[in-house]
Amino acid sequence: MLVLTVLFGFLSQRQLAVPAGGAGDMSWRGKCRSLLGALLAFIPLLLVSALRDGVGIDYESYQEIFYNIVLYGQRTHVEWGYYWLNRLVGCFTLNPQWVFGVSSLLVLGLFMAGIYRYAREHMAFTLFLFIAMGYYFYTMSSIRYYIAVACAFHAGFCIRDSRLLAAVAYIGLGALFHKSILIALPLYLLATLRFTEKFYLIFTGLGSVLVALSPFLRQLFFWVYPSYAGSKFDVIGRFSLYNVALAAGVLLWALLYRRQLLLGGNQFFLNIALFAFIFYGFCSWWIPESSRIGFYLSIFNIVLVPTLVKGEGKANVRAFYTFCTVTLFTLFLVSMLQKVDSTVGYAPFLPYRFCF
């Protein structure tokens, strides 16, 4: 799947590539071939996700939600968007597999459309990171949440490009499936500001202030999400070393190429990398289910990392960056897929099972 998706992504971006001393094929035929390549890259992702059987930590929970809504008429705890999605599917079938299929089409369609529109010039690299960083496989577990993340992905680019109404529309759509997306709007707006170097130190120093205010902020969090108070997710001191290391590494890399990012109009990415580091480094260990906020920031790594590689002027250094990135995240992908989740007693993604 990964090989096919990346290969077709490469063929898609190549159709619109600009050769040295020439112009890219911007004719309708070139655009159609590029779009066809993107579609072929999308199909393996969709089929693997839509036809999964028992794959994903919340698989059985979403089956139960479907039956409770369709068979027993229960309102359940889900947001209105996902509730009516189940109701709509239930009008045609009582097979919950169709909910997974429609949800996969929605979330992966949003991601693919965003990648094709905003990262077309390095689509293959971006698709590789979308899979190898784990985001693709996470969509099979937290369905509602990742529909919201996909909407936030579009909203961030809209805000970067000063299309505020479109960004608000995407945030509103995402909130119909997971209201945690509402935290993304002020963060994305703040990320459009251009800060001097000293402000990066000031913002990092504010991380200690957030730690000092953590008791108050936790109470505010529980006011919004009362179900998390005292739950199994409410564990102070638990955090992901991988997320902290990734956020720190990407931020340092982005700061090294700050000038190139600014010249390319990508101040937004630099600030998002800063916010991700502050969040994971200073807040993730006292906020229950911190990934519910963190992924709204880290998802942009799939575009930022290829942008940083492209910003290097020397071809041999670009090749070195590419080799290291592909190697590290391939190793991470292999380890992630084989890791057994102790909460459920089995590997949530491997061995993979089709519904047929």
Condensed to tens digits (0 to 9), the pLDDT of residues 127-149 reads 999 999 989 988 988 899 999 99
Domain count, the chain: 1
pLDDT band at 212 (very low <50, low <70, confident <90, very high): confident
Q: Is 128 exposed, middle or buried (0-12, 13-18, 19+ CB in 10 A)?
A: buried
Q: Is residue 269 part of a domain?
A: yes
Return the SS3 of 191: coil
Nearest to 149 by CA among 159, 135, 131, 166: 135
Instruction: Tell me which residue has tokens 């251009």.
Output: 194
- Average pLDDT, whole number, for the chain? 85
Task: Report CA Rg, the chain.
Answer: 21
Specify the DSSP class assigned to residue 340: P
- Average pLDDT in the 172-176 region? 96
As a whole number of angstroms, the distance between CA 131 and CA 300 comes to: 13
List CB contacts of 230: < 8 A, sequence separation 6 or more.
none
pLDDT greater at residue 235 or residue 251? 251
pLDDT band at 59 (very low <50, low <70, confident <90, very high): confident
Q: Token pair of 165, please? A: 């109404």
pLDDT band at 218 (very low <50, low <70, confident <90, very high): confident
Condensed to tens digits (0 to 9), the pLDDT of residues 255-314 reads 999 989 888 889 999 999 999 999 898 887 777 766 788 999 999 999 999 999 998 989
Q: Is residue 131 part of a domain?
A: no
pLDDT surpassing 50 at residue 20: no
Please name every residue paired with 346 in a beta bridge, in sequence order, or none if there are none.
Answer: 341
Q: From start to end of 51-90, where are the E strands?
A: none
- Average pLDDT in the 324-340 region? 84
As a whole number of angstroms, the distance between CA 194 and CA 270 comes to: 10
pLDDT value of position 118: 93
Instruction: Tell me which residue has tokens 């209105």.
Output: 80
pLDDT value of position 256: 92
Q: Token pair of 203, please? A: 């913002």
Torsion of CA 117, 120, 124, 130, to 10 degrees: -30
As a whole number of angstroms, the distance between CA 164 and CA 166 comes to: 5
As a whole number of angstroms, the distance between CA 313 and CA 33 comes to: 29
Range of the domain at 268: 191-299
List CB contacts of 45: < 8 A, sequence separation 6 or more.
1, 5, 108, 112, 131, 136
Return the SS3 of 341: strand
Lowest mean pLDDT among 76-80, 227-231, 238-242: 227-231
pLDDT surpassing 80 at residue 155: yes
Q: pTM of the predicted model, to two decimals?
A: 0.89
